[in-house]
Chains A and B, each alone.
Chain A
Amino acid sequence: MTDIGGPPQAATDSGRPLLAARNLTKTYGRTHALRGAGIELAAGEILAVTGPSGSGKSTLLHCLAGIVRPDGGEVTYGRERLDRLPEERLSELRRTEFGVVFQFGQLLPELTALDNVALPLLLAGTARARAHERAGAWLERFGVRGQQDLRPGELSGGQAQRVALARALVTGPRVVFADEPTGALDSLAGEQVMSALVRTARADGTAVLLVTHDAQVAAYADREVRMRDGAVAGAEVTS
């Protein structure tokens, strides 16, 4: 089949997945969000996690991204056990190796688009001029350079998501976690966001974990994993 740019190898050069979860459990109060979920993401792979509302797909993403610690099970990133890492190291990974895009609301409203994208670089110690230069290049790549001086409130939903993507990718992460990135957009704006994300991820070899309830969005991925009741319902392999 003809995927956009072609799917990557199924595993990293060492034969291990880049990111893997096994038998994850997570409970919020009396709600069992995850009941033994497992998943593997290869380097450069674009993987869609789909399923009905409440099936645990967002909780799975949060555990994999080191945002939430699971109650049980393992999350492995390369050779590190993510679920056991100290908060400091997790925070470093989230700054340097992971990028995150949510449905909306992740941009800081008081900063311009350019400053929003430059922010992760500034936090990592990049000089201001260099950070702005790189942020500008990323806005260009996502077709929103013309909006660099606007604040999030002045952007359309699709423009704001492309700025958010630029911010998630500006540090050159190995994995991007996208939780319903087109959920608040109409279908054409959603298509622009997904095309931009997939094109960029393929070009740079960035892995993407994409959570969506929308099959047309999942069709941008190399592979789909279905979740139901906090566990993986059935994985299908493509090509």
Chain B
Amino acid sequence: MSTRHILLGLLAAGPSHGYDLKRRHDERFPQARPLAYGQVYTTLQRLVRDGLARVEGTDADGGPERTRYRATDDGVRELARWTAQPTPPAPFVTNEIFAKVVVAILTGGDPAAYLRAQRAAHMARMRELTALKTDPGADLATVLSADYALNHLDADLRWMTTTAARLTTLTAEVDTA
């Protein structure tokens, strides 16, 4: 995940202070992990160093002085390049659910019981996300991020269903490996 490009993208939509940028990030990406202020300021300094953003001025508004940043033309070009470039599909399976099933088989655990419990946890989260996105007040960013999460959880569930059906075969393969 390129925090650098995401912040640059927000900056390209309008000049901003670090504090506002963090707030706008958390609004636009409501299901993402909230950004730390420290990370925002470090990223802004690097964007300026690399010529993708520049300091436009400072504001005080009666409070502490705040630096206002803006994206440069190079920054806008970099965003166009980044958003057009396909992200490489993940080459390795690093999922913890998969790992737990294999370890449960290796150690004589009960992978079927684990899969049932995991399904219940996934369904509970999917209900929360469905409620979130169907709330009449939900904005587009919330709906899009809930859709994204729902589709990924659904993919996990489909894999878990197939795995539960395959468990007998899988157990035999791991045991003899």
A215 to B124, CA, bound (A): 11
Pair B116/A220 contact, Cβ less than 8 Å: no
Pair A195/B134 contact, Cβ less than 8 Å: yes
On chain B, which size bracket covers the interface?
20 to 34
| Chain A residues within 8 Å of B130, by CB | 4, 216, 219-220
| Chain B residues within 8 Å of A88, by CB | none
Interface contact tally, CB-CB below 8 A:
54
On chain A, which size bracket covers the interface?
20 to 34
| Chain B residues within 8 Å of A198, by CB | 134
Pair A1/B134 contact, Cβ less than 8 Å: no
Pair A219/B150 contact, Cβ less than 8 Å: yes
A210 to B154, CA, bound (A): 18
A5 to B157, CA, bound (A): 25
- A225-239 interface bits toward B, Cβ cutoff 8 Å, 1 = contact, 0 = none: 010000000101010
CB of B12 within 8 Å of the partner chain: no
Pair A1/B120 contact, Cβ less than 8 Å: no
B132: nearest chain-A partner, CB-CB: A2
| Chain B residues within 8 Å of A238, by CB | 123-124, 127
Pair A236/B120 contact, Cβ less than 8 Å: yes
Pair B123/A3 contact, Cβ less than 8 Å: no
CB of A224 within 8 Å of the partner chain: yes
CB of A153 within 8 Å of the partner chain: no
Residues of A in contact with B (beta carbons under 8 Å apart): 1-4, 52, 191, 195, 198-199, 215-216, 218-222, 224, 226, 234, 236, 238
Residues of B in contact with A (beta carbons under 8 Å apart): 116, 119-120, 122-124, 126-132, 134-135, 150-151, 153-154, 157-158, 161, 165
